[in-house]
Every structure is written in C-alpha cells, then in structure tokens.
Copies of this chain bind each other. A is one copy, B any other.
Amino acid sequence: MGRPKQFDPDAAVEKAVEIFWCKGYGGTTPQDLVDGLGVGKGSLYNTFTSKQALFEKALRRYGDRRVAGLVEVLEGSGPVRERLRAALERLVDTGLSDPYRRGCLAVNTAAEPAGADPALGEIVRSVFDRMEAAFQAAIEEGRRHGEIDADRDPREAASLLLSTAIGMSVVAKTADRPDRLRRVVDAVLATL
C-alpha cells in the first residue's frame, strides 16, 4: 500500500553504475545522481538512504556483471589458451574503445581513498577473488587437457593473470599507445 514508486529502482542502480564509473565515488555529487537518474533528491534518499549505500549497490552490480562476462568467455568452447586470449583481448578492446577511458570501476574504487572503507573494500576484494578463481579454473582445465604445462602452478598463474588484468585496466586509462597492451597480452599468454 502507499503511493507506488514512479521509477524503477533497479534501472536507477543501472544508471548509477554509469555515473559512478565516469566520475568515481568521491567525484560524484548528489546533483549528478539527480540529473543522471532522473529522480528527485527526496526520492533518491528515500529509496537508497545515502550516496554510499547506492554506490555499494552499483559497485556490486557492476562487479557481478564483469565477473559473469569473464566467466562466460573462459567457460566457452575451444582451446583454453584461446579462451584466455579472448578474455584478455576483450579487456583490452573494451578498455581502449571506451571514449571516456573509464577503466574498471572495481579497480578505480580500490585505488580511490574510498576503497579503504571496509564495506567497499570487501566488495572489491570479492570481485578480484572471483576473477582470479575463474582464471584458475580455466588454467586447471587447460592443464587437464594437456594444453598447459603441468609444471605451472595454477594458483600462481591465476594470480599473475589477475594482477595483469588490473594493471591493464589502469594503463588503458592513460590512453597509452595501444601496442603496449597488446604486448602485455602476448607476453602473459606466452608464459603459460
């Protein structure tokens, strides 16, 4: 009962992702949210309580999507090595083709002072953990299929892939010459 909401909170979170992704947590103002979500300030705070609470929802949603995208590519068909290449190249391509150079919201948050907040840090950590686990699963599959050297420790390799992916997200933001990122992909795949 009571008056029904005149907007879709779910869609609003979706829009919030874009705004926070562009401006960062600290750089986003209530006015940015009001303009971007198209809802009044009263509704905004009535629904989401605070800027941070909304950001937590947005970051979680972003992270889930990112992880799902990575898992989808890594669990695809074809040789594992090619799937790993596809996953990394997707990172590079989407990073470089983004006109706003937003990088990765999870990485940006980790680097921001906001990342020191326990709740936000935990969300970021969870994203990183799931990405690493996805890499590790792929590498183990490749090892079982004899595509990847059995000497290679999958945990080690997965940690390297995670760190590399994070580093590439940052490098992509500097709008550096694209060849640097292509080299990184080649280099890290050559090691497997």
Shortest distance between the CB of A91 and any CB in chain B (Å)? 11
A164 surroundings in chain B (CB, below 8 A): 160, 163-164, 167
Chain B residue nearest to A151 (CB atoms) is: B190
A191 surroundings in chain B (CB, below 8 A): 160, 187-188, 190-191
A176 contacts B by Cβ under 8 Å = yes
Contact A183 to B156, CB < 8 A, known contacts A111-B173, A113-B27, A174-B124: yes
**Could you say how many copies of this chain the assembly holds?**
2
A85 contacts B by Cβ under 8 Å = no
B171 touches A163 (CB 8 A): yes
A142 contacts B by Cβ under 8 Å = no
Shortest distance between the CB of A36 and any CB in chain B (Å)? 15
Chain B residue nearest to A121 (CB atoms) is: B174
CA distance A167 to B91 in the complex (A): 14
CA distance A107 to B124 in the complex (A): 17
Contact A183 to B160, CB < 8 A, known contacts A26-B24, A27-B26, A191-B191: yes
Q: Apart from A110-B174, A163-B164, A191-B191, what 6 extra A-B contacts exist at CB < 8 Å?
A: A24-B113, A110-B171, A112-B112, A163-B163, A163-B167, A190-B191
Sample of 23 A–B contacts (CB below 8 Å): A24-B112, A26-B26, A27-B112, A27-B113, A107-B170, A110-B170, A111-B173, A112-B112, A121-B175, A125-B174, A128-B176, A156-B187, A159-B180, A159-B187, A160-B187, A162-B180, A163-B163, A163-B167, A163-B168, A163-B184, A164-B164, A164-B167, A167-B168
